[in-house]
Structure 1
Amino acid sequence: MNKYKKLFEPVKIGKCEIKNRFALAPMGPLGLADSEGGFNQRGIDYYTERAKGGTGLIITGVTFVDNEVEEHGMPNCPCPTHNPVQFVRTAREMTERIHAYNAKVFLQMSAGFGRVTIPTNLGEFPPVAPSPIQHRWLDKICRELTIDEIKSIVKKFGDGAYNAKRAGFDGIEIHAVHEGYLIDQFAISLFNHRTDEYGGSLENRLRFAREIVEEIKNRCGEDFPVVLRYSPKSFIKDLRDGALPGEEFVEKGRDLDEGIEAAKLLVSYGYDSLDTDVGSYDSWWWSHPPMYQKKGLYRPYAKLMKETVDVPIICAGRMDDPDMALEAIENGTCDMISLGRPLLADPDYVNKLRANRCQSIRPCISCQEGCMGRIQHYSMINCAVNPQACKEKDNALLPILKKKKVLIVGGGVAGCEAARVLALRGHEPVIYEKNSRLGGNLIPGGAPDFKEDDIALADWYAHTLNELNVQVNLNSEITKEQVLKANFDSVIIATGSTPKVFSLGDDDKVFTAADVLTKKKDCGGTTVVVGGGLVGCETALHLAKKGKKVTIVEALNKILALNGPLCSANSEMLERLIPFNGIDVKTSSKVKAYKDGNLEVETEKGTEKIKCDSVILSVGYKEKNSLYKELEFEIPEIYLLGDARKVSNIMYAIWNAYEVANHI
């Protein structure tokens, strides 16, 4: 018997019945629109694939109702009012395909980003806001919206919802009195300094949100559901300054008292459901939680909303643990579970859960490099661990002309992904891995408790390759002579990388980060991490959380200077967690020597000595490609993948492996 049956009971939002308790959280949809504001083929395929995978409610990523007051540089995102004929034509094709899988689909519509518009999406367009306030990213003051512009945007919501209904959407989600977007900026007094009917009292600050739902209901009927993305708490210490979990601070944004009062008002205005989270762009790590946030972090706030209003509550926020999701439904925390990144990672999550195949669900690792990082830096959405996300047709598995036997040397993520793709296509991959388990750098990388999903990804690969009957030889190094003697049609070298090391003198107590993370070496009670990149900072944080006294020494003028492009939610949170956890940081500093328990460091202020039990080197990795160089001119079809080709990140190791393995 499947213990998760309760997650597959139907639920209603207004009069719209949804077949199960799972929703695709709105993400993106940059790169999924055509030049006229419709959905392009990538967008249609992406959303349809999640419906095919069993998700009961598809909520699209943000679409802009207005492209005049706040220009967005078409075609960043779909727009239901820019060219209504094109929008309805393309969206109708999408909703019809989604409905074929007995799923419902809501269009998420936005008034705009206002002061939080990401610069890559802004182009040359001036940012707007309720009042002349500081932009989140740029050193600019935003332009105040006029009443006529507000009224124009409200009308556009009615037009957009009407077009959405024509296109076959089952409802609307409003974006948002959450995360500090434009409507939220009106709702929060920190951003709204107006003295007209849209400023002052809470009711006035919520007037924009009220007029929007009333306009939609007037145009589309009372039975057309309208959900609100809603944050009852902002976690803002000040402009551009957010609070960390457990930090004592004075809330400058929306506090919970106002959050409760606002929720009651918003539901009384006609909103049929609250899609609940917390946070703001000033505390972005709450709205887009990286791995440093606890799983299910929004549950207390969803529960509070459930106790406050009598409409269905949707809860997102690292809710990919099925047991946590089940408990949340059973104990009345929420009515629906919203999955964003987990459904990027595995579109079949819901069907696999229904079939009791939890081990087959590919985990999201919360790195945000394929999704939010790419949205922020390149205006496109993808997934680090799923190369097919938002490229379903472009990256479809290709049929093979002739079955090949392919040798893969190395069982890290690149080797595992290559083997998975080759096996799915019908080839015969064989892996040789020198260590006792698959995963490569996922194993030390996943040692901190906040990186548990790295280990889950390694376990998923092991499980998946076993299901695909891939021959895996562990504890097996292979030589040039063995490769040449073996009868393989193709060879993939994915031998990974090795940590860079150098001598400091007393090297018996100088370790690599990998050796400390895997507990091969004991760093003692006091240690210095040399290198303030991602690995160094995460190692330092892990050790500090275990009660160690840690210092980071970084040669550049700031930590996390070379890693990227990381999503700001990840990098900013990690950067602030370092001092919050008592870790000392010395930038623009170089280590010179380690002797008699003292590390000599050259700083801008001169030479210092730091007393420590050990030194941990985290100064990067070097490619381990000697086997490839030995074989390069001996084998006709040979490929170099992963860190062995170029030291990078998990995303590119997986993506490049998929690309190569799909074309063998």
Structure 2
Amino acid sequence: MDTFEKLFEPIKVGNVEIKNRIAMAPMGILGLSTERGGFSKRAQDYYVARAKGGTGLIITGVAKIENEIEKFHEGSVPCPTMDPGHFMSTCGETVERVHAYGTKIFLQLGIGFGRVAAPQMLVGQPVAPSAIPNYWNPSVTCRELTTTEVETLVKMAAESAAIAKMAGFDGVEIHAVHEGYLLDQFTIAMFNRRTDKYGGDLMGRLRLPIEIVKAIKKVNGEQFPVALRFSIKSYIKDWNQGGLDGEDFVEKGRDIQEGLTIAPILEKAGYDAFDADAGSYDAWYWAHPPIYQKHGLYLPLTEQLKKVVNAPLIIAGRIDIPELAEKTLEEGKAADMINIGRGLLADPDWSNKVLDGRPEDIRPCIGCHDGCLGRGFQGKPLSCAVNPACGREDEYSIGHADMVRDVMVIGGGVAGMEAARVATLRGHKVTLYEKTYELGGHVVEGSVDEFKEDNARLLEWYKTQIKKLGIDVKLNTEIKPEDVKNSKADVVIVATGSIPVMPNVPGIGNSNVATATDVLLKKKPVGKDVVVIGGGLVGCETALSLAMDGKNVTIVEMLPELMSAGIPVPHANRIMVLDMLKFHNIKVVLNSSLQEVKDGAIDVIDKNFKRNTIPADTVVISIGLKPDAKLYNDIIGKVPNVYAIGDANSARNIMAAIWDAYELARSI
């Protein structure tokens, strides 16, 4: 189609021609590799789904080049050299299937994790260029690699690339002078204190990535493409401390000038493309941008990088909005290819939907990390909050039902909308009832802030799908128990959501008390001095919203840390919220509970029973939600096939609501 012509122009990386300019960004396939270091059936289906969806180039998640010097538990990530025959068998089959759709595929080769290796993945002590603290547990010091071990890493990189070529991969990408992984640690003076040939001045620190590309070219030939995952700037303020956009701080990692200096050196060494981004584990919200980061956040950096290198520039950074991707390529100032990561987890058919002229059908990533990185930290396989079939495409697909049923869905939040959508795709006759005048539930107030615009995109996607599927939606219709009993529904799905938990303290009914929903939807006026009771994710986000609106905000939390209870907040999101709270001068009072609401103030009490008064024109209650399960409790056991999903079952998050609904509706 004319609107997105640039996205679908072919491009060459080295001598490999790619059918369009849409790449799948490399993302670790945690839980999808085999114990012998290959691709499981789930991993194969996962990559093939993105090839079938029209992606031009797939860059796989990281595969370790070895598992002896830096030993991981077997099965943590793929590894070509662990069992080359098994790797070529499982990955070779993946490559064959991907190629059937005209898609090219590069294997990402990881030189190591170094100081950022998670203790639960490691067997033994972490390693690094020098004896520096482990990121996750700073009390643990990494063992400095010997010169011989570093030389062995170069040999293993070449051996892994040779195996990749034999398996049929079209190229490799080196992981990475990027994000503070082991190879990046060698290039950054903060982490590399070596005195041998792999340390010292800039060229000494660049020796390892230069030797790696030269060794790969020697075994695979000059024409075999080798791309480089490359972070232009680290955003490291200090050990385990990142810097926000607009924050004034001294860069202790790689600054922009150094990034622009070393890129041409690495290109001259033989790298055929730069897969460019920014960030580090210390500032993980740059390398794995949450919902709070802007779409296209790397463009100001990659525009500078493009001026100093000639190799194709592949860029990521929440650039999964088709219009933004096309505009970036049309301008030609910051990218030659677009790298889509979590956007392809959310919707593997991203490319085909753009090509078909229906970008409104693309299911958006909401930057929550709950289904991808969040699950990885919990030891669960890779998936996606808004796409439960991600990572299990074959076994968890939506099939057509053998018998058409009449399905009654009560509640129009994300759980109800997802249940209605999936049940309709199954072929059932669905009626969706919502007691208010609009669909969306808690996502409505969760979409009003500028930094939550992706939630609004998800809500709009659901409304579009419901309309296109012709689902019968009845707004302003509150369902009573007798309505259910009198209906002819074969299946009743209760998705009535949740209601705020309110503390039982004096003054809680005062006019200056509001819920987070009240203030976000501007249902109540908010004074200058605001105290938010509750330091969970919703409370912190509400505090940010109010502070950005010019309010003086204090958060009161009864636990020793913010966002420390309930469903874990994924690491990148959590540390960015904490840094944003500091940036916006939001005061935080921990280990304290609300005791009384007064006129213009509140009393709190800490764990030592010391009372304190805090000025408050407005008190915002955000201590959690509880299921609105009255209807379900009234009808369960009185009519058959009744189910409660989402917050009506247990108040959690968007992912839980969607996953509940998908699991139930696909089985009806």
Please say whether Structure 1 and Structure 2 have the same fold, judged by a TM-score greater than 0.5: yes
3-state SS, counterpart of residue 630 of structure 1: helix
**Counterpart position of 1:308:** 308
Which one of 521, 544, 549 corresponds to residue 546 of structure 1?
A: 549
3-state SS, counterpart of residue 463 of structure 1: helix
- C-alpha distance in 2, partners of 1:241/1:597? 36
Equivalences for residues 580-659 of structure 1 within 5 A: 580-603=583-606, 606-659=610-663
**Are 1:135 and 2:139 an aligned pair?**
no
Give 1:34's aligned amino acid: T
1:398 CA displacement: 3.4
**Counterpart position of 2:532:** 529
Q: Which moved more, 1:591-600 or 1:8-17?
A: 591-600
Q: Which moved more, 1:152-161 or 1:41-50?
A: 152-161
Unaligned runs of 5+ residues in structure 1 are none
3-state SS, counterpart of residue 160 of structure 1: helix
Identity %, equivalent residues: 50
1:579 CA displacement: 2.0
**Counterpart position of 1:69:** 69
Equivalences for residues 552-567 of structure 1 within 5 A: 552-567=555-570
- C-alpha distance in 2, partners of 1:62/1:504? 55
1:563 CA displacement: 4.1
Verify the 8 A CA contact 1:193 1:200 in the aligned structure 2: yes
- C-alpha distance in 2, partners of 1:121/1:310? 38
- C-alpha distance in 2, partners of 1:564/1:47? 29
Deviations 1:396-437 (A, max 9, x none): 223422110110101111111111111111111211011222
Deviations 1:153-187 (A, max 9, x none): 11111111111111111110000000000000100
Verify the 8 A CA contact 1:2 1:356 in the aligned structure 2: no
**Counterpart position of 2:372:** 371
Verify the 8 A CA contact 2:132 2:142 in the aligned structure 1: yes
**Counterpart position of 2:124:** 125
- C-alpha distance in 2, partners of 1:515/1:357? 35
**Counterpart position of 1:155:** 155
**Counterpart position of 1:88:** 88
**Counterpart position of 1:447:** 448
**Counterpart position of 2:424:** 423
1:589 CA displacement: 1.3
Equivalences for residues 174-253 of structure 1 within 5 A: 174-253=174-253
**Counterpart position of 1:48:** 48
Deviations 1:344-385 (A, max 9, x none): 000011111111111111010000011111122315311000
Give 1:527's aligned amino acid: V
1:329 CA displacement: 0.9
Deviations 1:482-510 (A, max 9, x none): 11111011111110100112454261111
**Counterpart position of 1:337:** 338
Verify the 8 A CA contact 1:120 1:378 in the aligned structure 2: no
- C-alpha distance in 2, partners of 1:387/1:37? 25
Verify the 8 A CA contact 1:173 1:228 in the aligned structure 2: yes
The alignment of Structure 1 onto Structure 2 pairs a total of residues equal to 663
Deviations 1:239-274 (A, max 9, x none): 111112211111111111211111111001000011
Verify the 8 A CA contact 2:107 2:169 in the aligned structure 1: yes
Give 1:91's aligned amino acid: C
1:305 CA displacement: 1.2
Verify the 8 A CA contact 2:414 2:658 in the aligned structure 1: yes
**Counterpart position of 1:3:** 3
Give 1:621's aligned amino acid: L
1:612 CA displacement: 2.2
Deviations 1:447-506 (A, max 9, x none): 211111111111111111111111111111111111111101111111010011245426
**Are 1:572 and 2:591 an aligned pair?**
no
- C-alpha distance in 2, partners of 1:119/1:158? 27
Give 1:246's aligned amino acid: G
Verify the 8 A CA contact 1:32 1:43 in the aligned structure 2: yes
- C-alpha distance in 1, partners of 2:300/2:567? 32
Verify the 8 A CA contact 2:537 2:569 in the aligned structure 1: no
Unaligned runs of 5+ residues in structure 2 are none
- C-alpha distance in 1, partners of 2:96/2:366? 32
- C-alpha distance in 1, partners of 2:72/2:230? 23
Verify the 8 A CA contact 2:400 2:425 in the aligned structure 1: no
Verify the 8 A CA contact 2:275 2:314 in the aligned structure 1: yes
- C-alpha distance in 2, partners of 1:358/1:404? 31
Verify the 8 A CA contact 2:25 2:316 in the aligned structure 1: yes
- C-alpha distance in 2, partners of 1:161/1:15? 17
- C-alpha distance in 2, partners of 1:453/1:303? 25
- C-alpha distance in 1, partners of 2:232/2:566? 33
- C-alpha distance in 1, partners of 2:586/2:12? 49
- C-alpha distance in 1, partners of 2:342/2:407? 32
1:605 CA displacement: 8.0
Give 1:64's aligned amino acid: K
Verify the 8 A CA contact 2:11 2:17 in the aligned structure 1: yes
Verify the 8 A CA contact 1:179 1:234 in the aligned structure 2: yes
- C-alpha distance in 2, partners of 1:116/1:38? 23
Deviations 1:551-610 (A, max 9, x none): 111111221111432221110110121121011111111222222222222245832222
- C-alpha distance in 1, partners of 2:649/2:428? 23
Verify the 8 A CA contact 2:604 2:611 in the aligned structure 1: yes
Q: What is the TM-score with the length of structure 1 in the denominator?
A: 0.98
**Counterpart position of 2:101:** 101
**Counterpart position of 1:351:** 352
Q: What is the TM-score with the length of structure 2 in the denominator?
A: 0.98
Verify the 8 A CA contact 1:28 1:380 in the aligned structure 2: no
- C-alpha distance in 1, partners of 2:92/2:506? 66
- C-alpha distance in 1, partners of 2:486/2:367? 42
Verify the 8 A CA contact 2:115 2:142 in the aligned structure 1: yes
- C-alpha distance in 1, partners of 2:358/2:102? 21
- C-alpha distance in 1, partners of 2:660/2:616? 41
- C-alpha distance in 1, partners of 2:651/2:401? 30
Verify the 8 A CA contact 2:381 2:391 in the aligned structure 1: no
1:657–1:101 Cα change, 3 Å: same
1:52–1:385 Cα change, 3 Å: same
3-state SS, counterpart of residue 403 of structure 1: coil
- C-alpha distance in 2, partners of 1:133/1:521? 51
- C-alpha distance in 2, partners of 1:387/1:393? 12
- C-alpha distance in 2, partners of 1:344/1:356? 20
Q: Which moved more, 1:162-171 or 1:172-181?
A: 162-171
- C-alpha distance in 2, partners of 1:180/1:380? 24
1:213–1:379 Cα change, 3 Å: farther
Verify the 8 A CA contact 2:233 2:279 in the aligned structure 1: yes
Verify the 8 A CA contact 2:563 2:569 in the aligned structure 1: no
Verify the 8 A CA contact 2:232 2:256 in the aligned structure 1: yes
- C-alpha distance in 2, partners of 1:556/1:95? 50
Give 2:374's aligned amino acid: G
- C-alpha distance in 2, partners of 1:134/1:409? 53
- C-alpha distance in 2, partners of 1:39/1:175? 18
Deviations 1:18-64 (A, max 9, x none): 11111000011111211211111000000010011111000000000
- C-alpha distance in 1, partners of 2:121/2:406? 46
